[in-house]
Amino acid sequence: MRYWLMKSEPETFGIDDLRARPQQTEHWDGVRNYQARNMMRDEMKIGDQIFFYHSNCDEPGIVGIAEVASESYPDFTAFDPDDKHFDPKSNPDKPTWFMVDVKFVRKLARTISLRELKTKSELGELALLRRGNRLSIMPVSAEQWAFILALE
């Protein structure tokens, strides 16, 4: 099993939105970055654990845990001209973009903020903290996962 971190803006789709979905599950649509796509399409497996990260908000940080709930499949929002994430280069016969379903596991007892994570030398290699990293999905090592959870 692998570990991941996925960013979302709480004003758009936060951890509480995921919890409120039927089956507490939602497809992770809208990813339009090839690196992030490759991780979802090629590396994520059902049961992988995910840190749910709130970005672009008052206190950016890890707010909960989710898990991968499906194999990857084409992101159908790319096919819809009316969708914000429409991409004319992707079509159902040869989709460009993929996604997985993500299921709510639990909220953390408190937000582990980006500010706090930055103070931990043990997390120097965490992709989230690397300079200029804007990927919305990134891998987390088992060691990093355990260390961060122990902060809770």
Q: What are the residues binding DNA (CB under 7 A)?
A: 7, 9, 32-35, 55-57, 60, 114-115, 118, 131-136
CB of 12 to DNA, least distance (A): 10
User: What contacts 28, CB < 8 A, 6 or more positions away?
Assistant: 6, 40, 99, 100, 101, 102
Closest approach of DNA to the CB of residue 45, in Å: 23
Least CB distance from residue 152 to DNA, whole Å?
Answer: 19
Query: Per-residue DSSP letters for 24-43?
Result: GEEE------HHHHHIIIII
Residue 66: Cβ within 10 Å count: 26
Distance CA 86, CA 92 (A): 12
Of the pair 114, 149, the CB lying nearest DNA is at 114
Between 5 and 65, whose beta carbon lies closer to DNA?
A: 5
Judged by beta carbon, residue 60 or residue 74, the one nearer DNA is 60
Is the Cβ of residue 1 or residue 12 nearer to DNA in the bound state? 12
CB 25, min distance to DNA, A: 22
Cα 106 to the center of its chain, rounded Å: 15
